[in-house]
Structure 1
Amino acid sequence: MAFQLRASSSLSFSSSSIRRWTHDVFLSFRGEDVRQNFISHLYHALHQRGINTYIDNNLERGEEISSELSKAIEGSMISIIILSKNYAESQWCLDELLKILECKETVKQIILPLFYDADPSEVEHQKGSFGEAFAKLRYKLKDEVKVTKWEAALEKVANLSGLELGDRNESEFIQDIIKWVDSKVVNRTFLKVAEHPVGIESRVRDIYQHLSMERNDFVCMIGIFGTGGIGKTTISKDIYNRISHKFEGSCFLKNIREISKQEKGLIRLQNKLLFEILGENLDVRDFDKGINVISHRLYSKRVLLILDDVDELKQLETLAGDRKWFGPGSRIIILANDEARKLFSLHAFKKEEPLDGYAEVFEQVMQYAQGLPLALTVLGSNLKDKTIREWESALDEYKQIPNKNIQGVLQENLWLMS
């Protein structure tokens, strides 16, 4: 099915559902271990890069984290946890850790564990010097219920993807951290939407409902088509801003029609897609290999992918050819211009309007394809140079035994219809 965007009356616009971060990074650390050296250098490096970083400079800490600190954690896009040897001796640090892991689930906060003079296995099992520090707190507190929560949190954070200091110097370690943070902040930066985006709220709401965001057990692919300038891209940008933080990776791939016509354009689009979602340049140089790289690297990831201005089936096959390429819970949105009649006629008759006598059967085929441009491309090619009687016969056959190529477009992708 296809979702047709048409002009509508102006409606009030609200961006209240878009997540606004108060800080890019929240630093969680044990002050006596790292405040005067590593943390000061890391904070300075983040500040120099223009990364808005929250650091708690309150040296006098109570038994529970303050409401101000709790809000700072909730409002941060990324939490960096510096797991030093005495981190687990601090009740304050461990309560911060619980709050950070809670935010990972509730607001999809990104977490980066840094193993600073502490091995991941020591953190996971509370062994070695890290375990000794935790044992001191356990003996002092004598609250096994809370200790059990902290043990589970330490095990969980130890199994997240993080960075280890190891034997390298701190300056190299900090540069790796900055590179990682840069890629995450850029990926979660909002897209520029229209200055005064009026009249799109109802459309955004309609599309959002069809995305079934509450379900993570399948991959949803939808198509939106409409004439140029009617607001498809603006609406999709707004949706991207509202939901991209809920995914492991996201990409808004623009100007596909224009770029794909350029030399190695499809390869450039594949590389951009991979870089935006994975945060690394894989330097794909062949688009057939690119297809395999995308399907191999993203099949287990929950991603948001928006393909803007698709006008050929090959573009779709190269960038998002199958739902199996993406992990459960992924959402793929495909934008195409509504030039269905013109497109179909060009493929069937090599002119922009149907031949005399074909008008009635032409409209029947249009209705069968539900206006989907990519399906009409297949139909037009199949019916080219055929008589009206052959068109009618083919249409009857399509309805009884659907053409596999057409069904591949109509069924493998979920297209919405107003």
Structure 2
Amino acid sequence: MTKQWRADRLGRLGSSIFAEVDDWKREARQGGLEVIDLSIGSPDAPPSDTIRRTLAEAALRPDSYAYPGSKGSPAFLHKAAEWLACRFGVQVDPEQELLSLMGSQDGLGHLALALCNPGDIALIPDPGYPVYAAGLAVADVEPYFMPLKAENRFLPDFSRIPEEVWQRAKFMLLNYPSNPVSAVADLAFFQEAVAVAKRHGVLIVHDLAYSEMAFDGCRPPSILQVQGAMETAVEFHSLSKSFNMAGSRIGFLAGNRDAISALRELKANIDYGIFIPVQEAAIAALDEDIRGVNEPVAALYQQRRDILLQALKAEGWDIPVPKATMFVWAPLPVMGWELSEGWSSRRISREMLIRKGVAVIPGDAFGQEGEGYVRIALVKDEKLLMEAARRIGQFIRGQ
């Protein structure tokens, strides 16, 4: 008898769209096209000189290569606490209410293992970042999908969640500013969320990876600003997008000490923490932001947003203007050629890449509510964004 060397849970990890889009890119290049890749949200700018210099100097020290410890260095945790106080007015105990992570995805992927038992329920957004559902699948936790719809500003309607779901739910995951839908939420929404969570005894898990990537004067709040939120909420922060440190893999979790203790205990059994030079580089990044001497990334992405959307509008694709993130959540365009009628998000994304060499991600990769949309990442310079808009315009018109 031949054994299968593959766990069944891998089939529940969600969309393989990113690998599929990679195949489309290869097909487009084989057809002679130069691909403009607006699919993956990877920053195309480096960290500041200070951050890179700090990382390089620390990496040259002979004492930097011991096990760093899974909790995080006291210096990094205290700097993260200082940044939270400066940015949001939130006070946390760095010893009990903070945990360093190898990027927020590390924590999001492991949290359900630390908090839930098989058969529990967790509430997650639809559309939502794929790791939300993947983390539940690994832990054998049942997802309850909260639909995010344009008519409700892509906010969940808590009143439509059945009571029996609340009774079995361990946590509810929120993400504002959000990936992929680029929606924002105000403090009043988080006050409502905290009240609902307390009423049902559910932990709120807020993914705030895009806190520093908001536009037009918007300043996204932290859920921990809500009075009493520390009793029922934790919040993920990441340096990947805000400080162009995506490859360095560092972030942190703040909030309820019991939930943080549970994740800390799990992490202590599976890794030894973040390379000390990376933690020192993160300290430099947060310190620059606290002192206001860095160049915030939001201005760059706002400028790219404006250039791309204006160019696409001129080409016949009028898209709602996002208030935050490095993404545009775009309803499918009205196509000017007969054979395109009834095409899905995935079909349009593939044809646009194969025919014109512009890569985006179909909305259904983020959940069934994402059908009818594509996600466009603002990760190229202005010249390439203008060229992408020109090619997309040709595609829309069937040229």
TM (normalized to structure 1)? 0.23
Q: Which structure is higher in RCO with an 8 Å CA cutoff and minimum separation 6?
A: 2
TM (normalized to structure 2)? 0.24
